[in-house]
Amino acid sequence: MNHSNVTPFVKWAGGKRQLLAQIKERMPKTYHDYYEPFVGGGAVTFELLPTNALINDINKALMNTYRQICHSPETFLDTVKVLDEQIWEDGKMYYYSLRERYNDKLMRAEYDVELAALFVFINKHCFNGLYRVNGKGLFNVPYNNSRRKSVNEKMVLDISNYLKGIRIMEGDFEVACAGAKEGDFVFLDSPYAPLNPTSFESYTKEGFDIESHRRLARLYDELTSRGCYCMLTNHNTDLIRELYSNKGYQMDVVNVKRMINSDASNRVGEEVIIYNYERNCF
């Protein structure tokens, strides 16, 4: 399959497209199964196209979209096409009407192909492509004044063909990694630790608090004891260094651009890539 035709179908906070080269050069050269328990937009999975793979995320609307694209790509494309081709007399009003329909379906837990189409449409037409919800779990990002097409049909069909060969899960990261064993590669791109220790930004209503980061660090240690190859990315913060230092793990600092930040002066920063094996040793 041509990698150029398999790229993320949504923009996602913390997506790793800009770090793909750094991630790939630090990966183990060989591994058995591939696990990505925080798949988000899927930048790493779609770059690697691993076989014997498992992807997971706790965001139900996101994983519904993966499943709909996997199992019903033509219906999904037809539904998105209808949304794109409606008469946009007032783009802002149209966007907010679809955002309201999306939130109504979330409230009714209608995880179907229409929700998937709405999910992709509002992602493409919301400010900064930011998926953000309020305390009730409802999407609340404003319109970005765009009327661009929501999807590339060929790309969606190629994604669908790939997804048919892997396992798609939805839920907690520990459950997703339960089957990981010696020689498997686990890529952990969890929600970011806060740059400001007093605040967390939540992209799902479940959130990911400091205790969640501590639980993830314990899982990382456990996976290491199982003999799994593990790689984790996150902000270069005191919390992350505290959780992963002095354990024999490799920790490389890399510069990044934070395109999701509304303040251009804060769109540069540092991330860490943490891995539990010697680089280029096998």
Indicate whether 178 and 139 sit together in one domain: no
Q: Is residue 162 part of a domain?
A: no
Indicate whether 43 and 69 sit together in one domain: no
Q: Is residue 219 part of a domain?
A: yes
Residue 193, domain extent: 3-58+171-275
Chosen domain end from 119, 152, 185: 152
Counting residues of the chain whose pLDDT is more than 70, the rounded percentage is 90
Confidence of residue 100 (pLDDT cuts 50, 70, 90): very high
For residue 197, the model assigns a pLDDT of 56
Cα end-to-end distance, the chain, whole Å:
26
Q: Which CATH number fits the domain that encloses residue 141?
A: 1.10.1020.10
Indicate whether 254 and 179 sit together in one domain: yes
Q: Is 217 left (phi over 0), alpha (psi -120 to 50) or beta?
A: alpha
Confidence of residue 187 (pLDDT cuts 50, 70, 90): very high
Confidence of residue 195 (pLDDT cuts 50, 70, 90): confident
Q: Which CATH number fits the domain that encloses residue 12?
A: 3.40.50.150
pLDDT of 203 strictly over 60: no
Q: Is residue 227 part of a domain?
A: yes
Question: Can you give 205-265 as a three-state secondary structure string?
Answer: CCCCCHHHHHHHHHHHHHHHHHCCEEEEEEECCHHHHHHHCCCCCEEEEEEEECCCCCCHH
Indicate whether 176 and 271 sit together in one domain: yes
Instruction: Tell me the sheet residues that pair with 126.
Output: 143
Which pLDDT tens digit goes with each residue over 218-243?
999 999 999 999 999 999 999 999 99
Chosen domain end from 121, 152, 183: 152
Number of H helices, E strands in the chain: 10, 7
Lowest mean pLDDT among 1-15, 21-35, 43-57: 1-15
Q: How many domains does the chain have?
A: 2
Which pLDDT tens digit goes with each residue over 40-76?
999 999 999 999 999 999 999 999 999 999 999 999 9
Q: Is residue 160 part of a domain?
A: no
Coil, helix or strand at residue 93: helix
Q: Is residue 221 part of a domain?
A: yes
Indicate whether 194 and 131 sit together in one domain: no
Indicate whether 47 and 71 sit together in one domain: no
Which pLDDT tens digit goes with each residue over 151-186?
999 999 999 999 999 999 999 999 999 999 999 999
For residue 135, the model assigns a pLDDT of 84
Indicate whether 270 and 182 sit together in one domain: yes
Indicate whether 192 and 219 sit together in one domain: yes
Indicate whether 101 and 140 sit together in one domain: yes
